[in-house]
Structure 1
């Protein structure tokens, strides 16, 4: 992939040919975990046009506005002519948007940043971030912009939001020869690389029997990225997440996919343990009978810090099968010091969610001795 901003723009840190950089990441991973190459399944991203969301600031030069990003390793911004890592239809819409911004003083005035969210379904949201009050003139102008760009437009300022169209996209992922439908909310977390996301979900599904008679506990479930397809394999799923809006979106996603065996609750990781250990009663669980669940599997997709909690790791060790999705191999290694006292790694996959960076995602299936 060619990008004229390599090693100037801070969005990417590696300019080598894609397969070479992936091999270096793989080598680092194998050394960190002392795993043989043949014991790891590798999942590569497309080399370009893979990223479904991005955020840019603006750069003015000779009275012309460009997109900009923080400079690599420096405290200033550099202008961006193009960004070949984002989905092609997002690249196309940004080119049109910049042309319009440079011709339209109402859109341009005090415009601070631009966010894009798209999916392989083709839907797009463009968010314009302002340092000014969002008035009627701007709203009318953005309504016309929506027609020109054929996508939803959101205007944001401090304490204000106007939406022309929708504040979410409908994404369709084909997983395990079946289509799954997802709502992805603007401003909320969603998987940045849909191609790798599909491979992560398929990796997990490929390691599970078709009809498991017991139940799955999923912690850090978000809006149901894994929950929805995995629910097809289990009798029941209990999914917990601390972010209230994510739980609401999960419920919508379950409804869109006509799935009825998912029970979700707004609980932190610590609260989930307290509830399932019957250490504390929660009013928000008053309509959920936890005694109806017979858990055999647990799925975890924690933040970069990992689990990093002795009490929680001890709780996780109770399950026959642990499915651990990690976006930070270093924190995963620390958690494995505890988990491998009771469980053995049965399957390992690495997923290059973020090409041209040093980040690497991995998935482990661990089974109790």
Structure 2
């Protein structure tokens, strides 16, 4: 469907204004949203472009144009719906979500396995986005707090919680560092902290505040092994051991990889259990129990 959409865009390329980028977002249900980043401060309307594209690809549900990085025009829908297990997500254009949705399911299932929830925990989900981890965690425990600096993502997260009837999750729109400071000042406690930072990783101050909250377990999700290793070293110095590490092949045939690290608060000598191969879409994942 994406290739069909790209062919349709090529067919009308001569009618398009000068472009910087084109983003094509596709939902698993077959809806397409196209973002055109136009090299102009006052671009023309793309209404005719939208109509021409929809004639070729009926699944195109919306077209959004940007003047540089400023949203300029919205034609049709500006969001797509995504379903993961028993949860439906809305993702508004411009918000981050995992593009490999099948592997996102594997990653979420792996994180839930590693969480080992009993049902009475308070969980802190840092860089929570639109609730990718927060919502399935909330269905399995007592309370979840999600922190995310992106206002639009937090609005989606709140809508997603309401649409799925999940009431035990609180979403805070704030910088993660400041959000952690606020929780410490309120003397909040967290049994589990999920940390899913951008490629640059977490800052030293963020890690210090995570350790100050003293969770029993930290699940660190990362798309950058280099910054992940750096941050895990700091977390280990704070009294945690790396217990398990699960790589996930989110982008097959590339060097990009996602990983989930399980760090446990423990004073004993560290024992590391590392999965021998990345998850892929063709083989079920298995964890190796401690020997």
TM-score > 0.5, shorter chain as reference = yes
Q: What is the CA RMSD across the aligned residues, in angstroms?
A: 2.1
The corresponding residue for 1:186 is 93
The corresponding residue for 1:124 is 32
State the alpha-carbon separation in 2 of the partners of residues 275 and 166 from structure 1: 36
The corresponding residue for 2:196 is 301
Instruction: Deviation per CA, 1:145-184: give whole Å up to 9, x if none.
Output: 334422122233344522221111111122xxxx211111
**1:325 is the counterpart of 2:221:** yes
**TM-score using structure 2 length:** 0.81
The 3 A distance-change label for structure 1 pair 94 and 363 is same
* 1:366 to partner: Cα distance: 1.4
The residue correspondences of 1:131-150 to structure 2 (distance < 5 A) are 131-132=39-40, 133-135=42-44, 138-150=46-58
The corresponding residue for 2:107 is 200
Larger radius of gyration: 1
* 1:271 to partner: Cα distance: 0.6
Structure 1 runs (4+) greater than 6 angstroms displaced = none
* 1:111 to partner: Cα distance: 4.6
Match of 2:158 among 240, 251, 254: 251
**1:220 is the counterpart of 2:114:** no
Aligned residue pairs: how many? Answer: 259
The 3 A distance-change label for structure 1 pair 93 and 141 is closer
Instruction: Deviation per CA, 1:262-317: give whole Å up to 9, x if none.
Output: 11111212212221221xxxxxxxxxxx56x54211010011121231x3323322
Secondary structure of the structure 2 residue equivalent to 1:340: helix
**1:345 is the counterpart of 2:242:** yes
Q: Which has the higher contact order (CA 8 A, sep 6+)?
A: 1
State the alpha-carbon separation in 2 of the partners of residues 330 and 198 from structure 1: 24
Instruction: Deviation per CA, 1:26-48: give whole Å up to 9, x if none.
Output: xxxxxxxxxxxxxxxxxxxxxxx
State the alpha-carbon separation in 1 of the partners of residues 149 and 106 from structure 2: 26
The corresponding residue for 1:361 is 258
* 1:343 to partner: Cα distance: 1.6
Gaps of 5+ in 1: 1-88, 279-289
* Contact map agreement 1:118 1:125 (CA 8 A) in 2: yes
